[in-house]
Amino acid sequence: MLDKNTIVGVIGSGAMGAGIAQVAAMAGHKVVLYDNNATALGKAKSSLTTTLQKLQEKGKVTSAEEITDRLTYAPDVNQLAPCGLVIEAIVERLDIKKTVFADVEKIVSDDCVLASNTSSLSITSIAAACTRPQRVLGLHFFNPAPLMALVEVIPAVQTANELVVAAKELMQQWGKIPVIAKDTPGFIVNRVARPFYGEAIRIYEEGIADIATIDWAMTEIGGFRMGPFTLMDYIGHDVNYVVTETVFTSFFYDPRYKPSFSQKRLLEAGWLGRKTGKGFYNYAENTPQPLPNKDNELGNKIAERIVAMLINEAAEALHLNVATAHDLETAMTKGVNYPKGLLQWCDELGADKTLSILDDLYHHYHEDRYRASVLLRKYASGNKKMVS
């Protein structure tokens, strides 16, 4: 169904689409990178040519020219006709994706696999736009695609079982680490990671700690590579906020995923983070950055609160069979580089301690946002381990 002879099509030549095209070409596939925006397509060609040349100079590829020759830059959608796999990597709008899938299906063969790189939208809904929905699934790469190992493989309700197996094997051939996720909002990573951002903003909005202090607590005490505000600025609020809003809406307005006005206002102002020079932090040249309050007691409270919320989200995902325990742990360590899997973290802290933190928050706020997963409560009462 899918092998090294499969011609891979990629729709969208932005950073993600170009990155996926690079991964496929480096894995030995002929690749058709399509974009109806000629300027964007030219930019992608120039960028990929430069990137591959640099990789050759560093000895990471044998021949940049050989890989470049596998890449076709297509301004016409009909050039996707010979592809056996087409991966869509365009704007996160369900209506546009459904239109694109319905149009592409008329061009490619009946056995061509159609995949979406969506980070949070319903694969089932996208598949429903097709006359052969059984050939549709999600392949969610992480940015930058050539460097990030994780790929979430998401079958729709309609997806053929054998396609899931074939897609997972193909991702392994591409040197990726695939995990299987149920088609629920945010899949694994963008669901489980929501509290890292949302609870950090809540702590900031309440005046418990400022942005620099929260980031310091999560890096120096929590062990994360980036603090939540630094990471949101890095991702861009046009991406991060929209995912939060999408997950919140898709979960029928569950307060656990509620977006914040603080981040929405940045989006409205056009302060998208690093890409615009301003977000939660100001990145203008010679601008001094705020210093954290390195109070260990405060830092520990911040880290414990956010980590407890993350663990609870992972426990709930396990409880609802969003993914296996192994895939949940892999997704969070390989997809967002957490210092350890959240279920392992729960075992080390103790489910009873994690539950106590959440229950204290729930009794303080009386908000459903802090309700503990029934699975966490079960493991705490039985003094059981999640994974070890």
Q: What is the CATH number of the domain that holds 292?
A: 1.10.1040.50
User: Which pLDDT score is estimated for 36?
Assistant: 95
* SS3 of residue 274 by DSSP: helix
**Catalytic choice (13, 116, 117, 190):** 190
Report pLDDT digits (tens) over 154-199: 999 999 999 999 999 999 999 999 999 999 999 999 999 999 999 9
Question: Is the pLDDT reported for residue 388 higher than 90?
Answer: no
**Catalytic choice (88, 152, 199, 316):** 152
Q: Which domain holds residue 345?
A: 191-381
User: Would you place residue 384 in the very low, low, confident or very high pLDDT band (cuts 50, 70, 90)?
Assistant: confident
CA angle, 362 as apex, 356 and 368 as ends, to 5°?
130
Report pLDDT digits (tens) over 202-252: 999 999 999 999 999 999 999 999 999 999 999 999 999 999 999 999 999
Of all residues in the chain, the percent with pLDDT exceeding 70 is: 100
Domain count, the chain: 2
Q: Model-level pTM greater than 0.85?
A: yes
**Residue 387 within any structural domain of the chain:** no
Q: Look at the alpha carbons of 189, 192, 194, 195 in this order and tell me if their dihedral is positive or negative.
A: negative
- Who's near 341: CB < 8 A, 6+ residues apart? 314, 328, 329, 330, 332, 333, 387
Give the Cα separation of 83 and 9 in Å (integer).
6
175 and 205 in a common domain: no
Instruction: Clarify whether 190 is annotated catalytic.
Output: yes
Give the Cα separation of 186 and 188 in Å (integer).
6
- Out of 147, 180, 213, a domain closes at 180
Partner residues linked to 72 by β-bridges: 32
Mean pLDDT, the chain, whole residue set: 97
Partner residues linked to 139 by β-bridges: 153
- Out of 128, 153, 180, a domain closes at 180
* SS3 of residue 265 by DSSP: helix
Instruction: Clarify whether 313 is annotated catalytic.
Output: no
**Residue 388 within any structural domain of the chain:** no
Closest among 311, 274, 299, 302 to 289, alpha carbons compared: 274
Instruction: Clarify whether 316 is annotated catalytic.
Output: no
**Catalytic choice (13, 116, 117, 119):** 119
88 and 145 in a common domain: yes
**Residue 2 within any structural domain of the chain:** no
User: Which pLDDT score is estimated for 382?
Assistant: 87
User: Which pLDDT score is estimated for 355?
Assistant: 98
Instruction: Clarify whether 363 is annotated catalytic.
Output: no
261 and 147 in a common domain: no
- Out of 158, 180, 202, a domain closes at 180
**Residue 3 within any structural domain of the chain:** no
Q: What is the CATH number for 29?
A: 3.40.50.720
199 and 165 in a common domain: no
Q: Average pLDDT for residues 71-75, to the nearest whole number?
A: 98
**Residue 186 within any structural domain of the chain:** no
The answer to whether residues 87 and 154 touch, using CB atoms and an 8 Å cutoff, is no
142 and 84 in a common domain: yes
329 and 199 in a common domain: yes
